[in-house]
A and B are shown apart, each in its own frame.
Chain A
Amino acid sequence: MGSLYLDHNATTPVEPRVVAAMMPWFERAGNAASLHELGRRGREAVETARDQVAALLGAAPPEIVFTASGTEANNAVVQTVADTHSDGHLVISAFEHPSILAAAARLEERGFAVSRVAPEPSGRVMPEAVAAQLRRDTRLVCLMLANNEIGSVQPVAEVAALAQARGARVLCDAVQAVGKIPFTVGELGVDYLTIGAHKFYGPLGAAALWIGRGVEFSPLLVGGSHERHRRAGTLNVPAIVGFGAAAALVDEELAAWSDHMLEVRDRFEAGLASIGETRVHAAAVPRLPNTSNVAFLGVDAEALMVRLDLRGFAVSTGSACSSGVVEMSETMKALGVDENEAVASLRISFGKDSTGAGVEALLTALREEVAALRELGAEGASV
């Protein structure tokens, strides 16, 4: 069954070693903010996790703020602009995660200007295109490290250098990149960076915002001195411990995981030839080793997703055709993908435990279901 789970960009199963690290912290009382023995032990566990997360990012532990989700961390950074400036401008890529798109739109309603930079159809945002939007009053530039739907890796370091030269801060949403490609905050040169544990075999409910030294930040949640006044709220000790354990695993095993996923993914994409009429998105640009977003031309991907689900395969669609109206994902829209191709696109995201046998099973199922849907489509068209 495990080999049939092919939606790792949505979330990953928690690694047994991570579960083992977390278990004791469910059973123990002890608020990490309390001064007694149990509290101190909880606090120590949190600080160990902070060290692990910081080590993974090449950062200093005090620069890490634990949050409950990547969405929270992204929201907090965008909101910081509104809290520290009365007006100004933001530049974001047009296919950022909704937690940035929506937070920026909210600032726009309050009078801030927002420029949305479309990626090239290849899947990559051009640094010059971002540079062209920068203004004297640009406060923040947001660019994800890797797109969640098509997996294209973005030129974050180049964009960061250009933006900072114009006095803007840079937020990098790196949620999809961790556990798939190596990077450090130093290499990227950004001011804020977001990651979330559940995308790399850690638990749900634990994420982190890295804030560069001396960079302004205004907390989203207030009401306690937790996280050095940057994020109030009782710390979720078991989840944070699991987060740290998962980060340590990535630190050790990333190269092996990444090689393995790439091999599995390449095998899958080579097998697409036997289905015919397919197109892989972002195939010509640097891409996460686990992500394959494929348009099966002439097929309604939502129906394909359901048919695969009924056979036990978990994959996902970015766009759906409902009521004859195509609901395109922001990513597909931003890429300028045509509607027919968008509704035919299915995202398969492999994991470190995906297998060659799983790939073969998926290809067999795809061959059959795609053929069935193309036949239905042909019948429908001839009526």
Chain B
Amino acid sequence: MSGRVAVAMSGGVDSSVVAWLLSREDPSVIGLSMLLWDRSQENTHGRCCGALDLGDARRVAQQCGIAHYTLKMADDFRRYVVDPFVDDYLAGRTPVPCTRCNTFIKFDLFLERARAFGVDTIATGHYARIVAGAEGWELHQARTIDKDQSYYLFELTQAQLAASRFPLGDMDKERVRELAREAELLVAEKAESMELCFVAGGIKDFVEAQAGAAPERFAVPVTAASSLVDSGGTELGRGEPYYRYTVGQRRGLGLTAPSPLYVLAIEPEENRVVVGGAEELRLPGLIGERLHWIGRPPVGPIEATVRIRSRHPGVCSLVTPLAEDGLVRVEFATAQRGVAPGQAAVFYDGTRVLGGCWIQQATPA
């Protein structure tokens, strides 16, 4: 193996700085971009897969003096990320497509395609750290916590961590911008992309359009108005179709009540959305599925800090793997709001990511 390093270049400032930094150390580094979602017709800028961004990636690679190639992976992206994303909403879940993209695309199929080019290491612009520990590779949060992306990387394996580098894990965003400016990279002032890379407008409109455009692929969504009910089953009003709601949502329910109401649960079969007060939203734990440990799986229950969505501060929990394969019970020390099926629950020990699971259901109060 030639030991070549490839930088996964999105055309954004982060991966551009990675390309620049690595190309200074090693001129044999190459840049690879993925064409994930063909939006050549849309002509939007600032999202990770538009044709314009791939153009930026190519031009930055030129500035760095490295070779650059684009891999067409739109079919894989649709199959492993977009379709399951739509499926999840239609099943009343709240998906995390960025995690699936990391798990199935960037650190799996992309890495595999890159190997054919003689590449054995990929570097990305993720804000997280890979640390050599006593018992193998460890994944840690970024030094700058508010940029940390470790939540989205919990499904990585030892082999993937061994083949990956995150050069920005120790930097803050200002330093990255500074480096981009010093290097005069043409994306130095490019705006941050905060939305999902494949969704141009609202998520719910996207879900509806995707399901509508390919009805054979999805269980046909119920476009009828949903029934908004309280936890006792009493109908409080009619709402939009169920998949337009997210667990924990407060705004836009269109109901008048003495105290604020939240979405507690989504029941697709009945086209029903259960709402209730803040106190009902607080739940003691969850059952997770597709449990994954980055290092050696623990024997018996462990204590960990668990984050139940990307911006969740974390809660001290007892994590108990269940006898049934891949299932896990998480019991929070204090009840948490917004335990949404479909989100990832990621387990931390300090800054270290131990592993995680996908929320199957909240534990009833």
Measured between beta carbons, the chain A residues less than 8 angstroms from B28 are 310
Residues of B contacting A300 in the complex (Cβ-Cβ under 8 angstroms): 116
| Residue ID in chain A nearest B71 by CB atoms | A322
Give Cα A380 to B115, complex, Å: 11
Provide the bound-state CA to CA distance between A307 and B115, in Å: 11
A375 to chain B, nearest CB (A): 10
A323 B72 Cβ-Cβ under 8 A: yes
Min distance, Cβ B118 to any Cβ of chain A, angstroms: 6
B67 touching A376, Cβ below 8 Å:
no
Q: Which segment of B73-81, B303-311, B316-324, B325-333 sits at the interface?
A: B73-81
Q: Is the CB of A309 within 8 A of B67?
A: yes
B30 engages A310 (CB within 8 Å):
yes
For the complex of A and B, the 6 pairs showing the least CB-CB separation, nearest first, are A323-B75, A322-B72, A303-B116, A323-B76, A306-B117, A323-B73
A-B contact pairs, 17 of them (CB 8 A): A303-B116, A306-B67, A306-B69, A306-B116, A306-B117, A307-B117, A307-B118, A310-B4, A320-B72, A322-B72, A322-B75, A323-B72, A323-B73, A323-B75, A323-B76, A325-B75, A372-B118
Chain A residues whose CB sits within 8 angstroms of the CB of B116 once the complex forms: 300, 303, 306, 373, 376
A382 → chain B closest CB, angstroms = 15
Question: Please, which residue of chain A has its CB at the minimum distance from the CB of B72?
Answer: A322
The reply on A223 being an interface residue by CB < 8 A is no
Interface of B with A (CB < 8 Å)? 4, 28, 30, 67, 69, 71-76, 112, 115-118
For residue A214, CB closer than 8 A to chain B, the reply is no
B118:A310 contact, CB within 8 angstroms: yes
Cβ-defined contact, B117 with A324, below 8 A = no
**What total of chain A residues lie within 8 Å of the partner, measured CB to CB?**
16
Residues A308-332 near B (CB distance < 8 A): 309-310, 320, 322-325, 327
Complex Cα distance A373/B1, Å?
Answer: 11
Tell me the nearest residue of chain B to A309, going by C-beta.
B67
CA A306 to CA B118, docked complex, whole Å: 9
Q: Mark A126-138, 1 if CB is under 8 A from B, else 0.
A: 0000000000000
Q: Which residues of A line the B interface, CB within 8 A?
A: 300, 303, 306-307, 309-310, 320, 322-325, 327, 372-373, 376, 380
Residues on A with C-beta less than 8 A from B118 are 307, 310, 372
- Report how far A300 CA is from B72 CA in the complex, Å: 14
Taking a contact as CB atoms closer than 8 A, the residue among B4, B69, B75, B115 that contacts A324 in the complex is B75
Whole-angstrom distance from the CB of B80 to the nearest CB of chain A? 10
Residues of B within 8 A of A373 (CB): 116
Give the residues in chain B near A307, CB-CB below 8 Å.
Answer: 117-118
Complexed CA–CA distance, A16 and B116 (Å): 38
Q: CA separation between A309 and B112, bound complex, in Å? A: 19
* 6 further contact pairs, Cβ within 8 A, besides A323-B75, A324-B75: A310-B30, A310-B117, A322-B72, A323-B73, A323-B76, A372-B118
Which chain A residues border B71 with CB–CB below 8 Å?
Answer: 322
Q: Which residues of A contact B75 (CB under 8 A)?
A: 322-325
Q: Report the minimal beta-carbon distance from A181 to chain B, rounded to whole angstroms.
A: 34
* Cα–Cα distance between A306 and B117 once the two chains are bound (Å): 6
Which A residues lie within 8 Å of B4 (CB)?
310
Residues of A contacting B72 in the complex (Cβ-Cβ under 8 angstroms): 320, 322-323, 327
B69 nearest in chain A by CB position: A306
Cβ-defined partner of B73 (8 Å) among A303, A310, A322, A380: A322
Is the Cβ of A323 less than 8 Å from the Cβ of B74?
A: yes
Q: For the complex, give the distance between the alpha carbons of A227 and B117 in Å.
A: 49
Bound form: Cα–Cα A307–B30 in Å: 11
Q: Quick one: which of A310, A320, A376 contacts B115, CB cutoff 8 A?
A: A376
Which residue of A has the minimal Cβ distance to B109?
A323
Return chain A residues, CB-CB under 8 Å to B67.
Answer: 306, 309-310
Once the chains are docked, how many angstroms separate the CA of A119 from the CA of B130?
55
What separation, in Å, do the CA atoms of A300 and B73 have in the docked complex? 16
Q: How far is the CA of A264 from the CA of B95 in the complex (A)?
A: 58
Q: How far is the CA of A277 from the CA of B180 in the complex (A)?
A: 47
What are the residues of chain B within 8 A of A320 when measuring CB–CB?
72
A306, B28: Cα distance in complex, Å = 13
Find chain B residues with CB under 8 A from A376 CB.
115-116
Contacts of A306 in B (CB 8 A): 67, 69, 116-117
Chain B residues within 8 Å of A372, by CB: 118
Check B117–A303 contact: CB distance below 8 A.
Answer: yes
Which one of A309, A324, A327 contacts B76 once the chains associate, using CB atoms below 8 Å? Answer: A324
- Closest A residue, CB atoms, query B118: A307
| Assembly CA distance A84 to B13 (angstroms) | 53
A324, B74: Cα distance in complex, Å: 11
Min CB distance A303 to B, Å, is 4
Distance in angstroms from B36 CB to nearest chain A CB is 10
Bound-complex Cα distance A372 to B1 (A): 9
In the complex the two chains form, what is the Cα distance from A373 to B118 in whole Å? 9
Measured in the bound complex, the distance between the Cα atoms of B67 and A309 in whole Å is 9
Which of chain A's residues has its CB closest to B77's CB?
A323
Most buried by B among A307, A310, A323: A323
Complex Cα spacing A372 to B74, Å: 27
Q: How far is the CA of A306 from the CA of B119 in the complex (A)?
A: 11
Q: What chain A residues lie within 8 Å of B74 (beta carbons)?
A: 322-323
